């Protein structure tokens, strides 16, 4: 090993990893804080599988660029520091594949189906699961289907509840690392905030460095420098009854020898009034998922979306064109999802139509992907003034739909780089305009309607529970761009198709020609 722990590999400063090396459960999931030695477990197991088991290994990271960087930064130095490991490999020239005799170590990014196809392996490592496209996880798992002996390791700092590593961890044994308190002799663990004596009042308060760990059982101070001693004989303990072949491990930075209690307290104070800093504290320090205030719709918010006068999805359709402002949004896929909305204006609309409009969901529906005629029927049935359809996966069929209703239908593509509710339209010459929009900005506009009091969106009394689940599945969190700068993004903890169809209906409002017969001062 190099760096701070130069010399032969040891678990002196990371005693919790010893038992993780020896887990032979088929599925193993580690939900952790940052820099806790768990990735080294995955690397060691990869070498062991190649050298002793004589089997292939597939090591997956979120992106191909990240995989290449990881290969150069973690595997290559390990080989340089160990003559034995260097001698194990017969071909090191490729960044994404290293040959060890008849077996291979494949290092791949998760994005793009072709990256994970046709790679058989018996040891699968999924590193930083929460940063991966979730559907790719299951594609990677399929790579093990032909193996008699197989093991999966999923590793990640969590982001939001019921997503990625947290979702996998909830279905496991949910093991915590317990140790014997050197003062009271009872078995205990390190948890926040019970095990931290917080000193200081804000992040720049020098007294934060006086903060210290304590046993939550006897309240006695636990010396940070003595961690290697009192944690040495610690053991993983199952906290829920679960399938022993699906092990889950949880560890946080309170256990870290390189992170002091004072540093944890400073990070905690930085989260006051700063949602991104609060997220980083919970995710990277505590190894726990986090949702900021208002980042996700609640049952109460959705339940409040009712009109003054109850109405039904089966109320009468428009009698003639021009009197009602109606749009339609379609989220296509193997199953298509449709939302039809009627719009009302409390004041003449200006450049920001969404701000001036109230939304009434009048119809929702699902259709099979080969029944495109149904969209035509709904355009006539509801006399839709403009419809927006997801441009993928059936782009050609979507374009044909748009060409059947010239000036009344546009395709949509979520595209980073646009500002808030900016819409950039292209390909008008094809008769199928493509509207490029910022995903986060428009989802915030639509979901924000449910949070406004009095509500700016109305739902029928017979709206299906599936619709409610879809709009509650989107959670606002943060990612980092290539320069390390945070930006907000919505992640889904479940199916969210109706939420996107509703968003497309909102985007469609921006293209309705508001003139003539519409009563723009009408308040419903």
Which carries the bigger pLDDT value, residue 74 or residue 320? 74
Read off the CATH number of the domain in which 430 is found.
3.30.420.240
Alpha-carbon span 246 to 402, nearest angstrom: 48
**Is 132 a domain residue?**
no
Going by C-alpha positions, the residue among 2, 56, 38 that lies closest to residue 155 is 38
> What's the whole-number mean pLDDT along residues 47-54?
92
**C-alpha–C-alpha distance, residues 305 and 23, integer Å:** 49
* Integer Cα distance of 394 and 369 in angstroms: 9
pLDDT band at 269 (very low <50, low <70, confident <90, very high): very high
How far, in Å, CA of 180 to CA of 231, rounded? Answer: 8
Say what the pLDDT of residue 307 is.
74
Residue 333 domain-assigned?
yes
Per-residue pLDDT at 119: 67
Tokens 């593509």 appear where? Answer: 413
Hey, how many other C-beta atoms are within 10 angstroms of the C-beta on 210? Answer: 14
Q: Are 391 and 434 in contact (CB under 8 A)?
A: yes
Q: How many CB atoms lie within 10 A of CB 364?
A: 22
Dihedral over Cα of 455, 457, 461, 465: its sign: negative
> Half-sphere exposure (CA, 13 Å, Cβ side) for 443?
26
Q: Is 521 among the domain residues?
A: no
What's the rounded mean pLDDT across residues 29-35?
97
Tell me the pLDDT of the chain averaged across its residues: 89
pLDDT digits (tens, 9 = 90+) for 361-405: 999 999 987 889 999 999 999 999 999 999 999 999 999 999 999
* Residue at token pair 């900005």: 441
pLDDT digits (tens, 9 = 90+) for 102-139: 888 888 888 765 555 566 778 899 999 999 887 777 77
**DSSP labels, 453-484:** SS-SEEB-TT--HHHHHHHHSEEEEEEE-TTS
Calculate mean pLDDT across residues 285-306. Answer: 93
In a domain, 397, yes or no: yes
**What confidence tier does 92 reach under pLDDT thresholds 50, 70, 90?**
low
Asked if the model's pLDDT at residue 321 lies above 70, the reply is: no
CA distances from 12 to 232, 235, 277, 284 (A): 7, 14, 31, 22
At residue 148, does pLDDT exceed 90?
A: no
Other CB atoms within 10 A of residue 268 CB: 23
The angle subtended at Cα 29 by Cα 28 and Cα 34, nearest 5°, is 135
pLDDT value at position 205? 96
- Say which residues have a Cβ less than 8 Å from residue 277's Cβ, sequence separation at least 6: 267, 270, 271
Q: What is the pLDDT of residue 141?
A: 73
The closest alpha carbon to 231, from 42, 18, 6, 1, belongs to 18
Residue 517: predicted pLDDT: 46
Q: Mean pLDDT throughout 188-192?
A: 98
Q: 173 vs 81, which has greater pLDDT?
A: 173
**Which pLDDT score is estimated for 277?**
95
How many structural domains is the chain composed of?
1
Q: Which structural domain range is residue 343 located in?
A: 299-509
pLDDT greater at residue 221 or residue 321 = 221
Q: Is residue 251 a part of any domain in this protein?
A: no
Query: Considering the domain boundaries, does residue 491 fall inside one?
Result: yes
Decide if pLDDT at 504 tops 70: yes
Choice among 140-154, 210-224, 230-244, 465-479 with the minimum mean pLDDT: 140-154
Would you say 228 and 170 are in contact if contact means Cβ atoms under 8 Å apart? no
Largest separation between any pair of C-alpha atoms in the chain: 82
Query: Residue 385 burial (CB < 10 Å; 0-12/13-18/19+)?
Result: buried
**What distance in Å separates the CA atoms of residue 290 and residue 292, rounded to the nearest whole number?**
7
Q: pLDDT tens across 441-465, in order?
A: 999 999 999 998 778 999 999 999 9
Q: Is residue 377 in some structural domain? A: yes
DSSP 408-436: TEEEEEE-TT--TT-EEEE-GGGTS-EEE
pLDDT (tens digit per residue) in 333-356: 889 999 999 999 877 777 788 988
> Would 389 be classed as within a structural domain?
yes
The confidence score (pLDDT) of residue 166 equals 97
């Amino acid at each position: 090993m190099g760096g701070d722990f130069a010399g032969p590999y040891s678990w002196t400063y990371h005693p919790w990893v010893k038992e993780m090396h020896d887990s032979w459960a088929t599925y193993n999931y580690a939900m952790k804080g940052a820099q806790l030695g768990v990735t080294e477990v995955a690397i060691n197991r990869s070498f062991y599988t190649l050298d002793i088991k004589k089997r292939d290994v597939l090591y997956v990271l979120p992106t191909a660029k990240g995989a290449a960087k990881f290969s150069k930064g973690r595997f290559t130095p390990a080989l340089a520091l160990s003559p034995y490991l260097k001698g194990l490999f017969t071909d090191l020239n490729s960044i994404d594949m290293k040959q060890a005799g008849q077996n291979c170590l494949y290092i791949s990014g998760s994005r793009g189906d072709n990256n994970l196809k046709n790679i058989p392996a018996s040891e699968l490592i999924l590193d930083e699961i929460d940063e991966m496209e979730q559907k790719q996880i299951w594609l990677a798992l399929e790579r093990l289907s032909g193996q008699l002996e197989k093991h999966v390791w999923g590793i990640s700092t969590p982001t939001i509840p019921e997503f990625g590593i947290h979702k996998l961890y909830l279905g496991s044994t949910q093991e915590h690392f317990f140790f014997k308190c050197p003062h009271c002799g009872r078995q205990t663990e390190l948890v926040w905030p019970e095990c931290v004596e917080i000193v200081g009042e804000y992040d720049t308060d020098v007294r934060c460095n006086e903060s210290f760990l304590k046993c939550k059982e006897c309240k006695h101070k636990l010396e940070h420098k003595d961690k290697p001693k009192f944690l040495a004989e610690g053991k993983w303990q199952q906290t829920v009854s679960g399938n022993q072949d699906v092990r889950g491990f949880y560890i946080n930075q309170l256990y870290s020898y390189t992170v002091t209690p004072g540093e944890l307290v400073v990070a905690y104070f930085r989260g006051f009034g700063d949602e991104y800093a609060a997220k980083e504290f919970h995710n990277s320090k505590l190894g726990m998922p986090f949702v900021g205030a208002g980042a996700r719709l609640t049952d109460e918010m959705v339940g409040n979306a009712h009109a003054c006068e109850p109405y039904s999805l089966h109320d009468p359709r428009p009698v003639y064109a021009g009197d009602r402002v109606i749009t339609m949004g379609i989220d296509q896929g193997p199953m298509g999802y449709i939302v039809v909305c009627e719009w009302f204006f409390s004041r003449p609309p200006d450049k920001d139509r969404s701000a001036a409009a109230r939304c009434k969901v009048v119809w929702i529906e699902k259709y099979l992907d080969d029944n495109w005629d149904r969209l035509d029927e709904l355009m006539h049935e509801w006399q839709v003034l403009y419809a927006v359809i997801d441009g993928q996966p059936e782009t050609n069929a979507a374009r044909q739909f748009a060409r059947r209703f010239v000036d009344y239908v546009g395709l949509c593509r979520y595209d980073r780089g646009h500002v808030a509710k900016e819409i950039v339209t292209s390909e008008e010459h094809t008769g199928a305009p493509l509207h490029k929009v910022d995903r986060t900005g428009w989802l915030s506009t639509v979901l924000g309607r449910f949070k406004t009091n009095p509500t700016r969106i109305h739902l029928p009394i017979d709206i299906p529970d599936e619709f409610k689940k879809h709009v509650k599945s989107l959670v606002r969190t943060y990612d980092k761009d290539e320069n390390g700068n945070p930006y907000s993004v919505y992640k889904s903890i479940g199916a969210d198709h109706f939420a996107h169809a509703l968003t497309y209906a909102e985007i469609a409002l921006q293209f309705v020609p508001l003139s003539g017969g519409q009563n723009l001062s009408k308040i419903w």
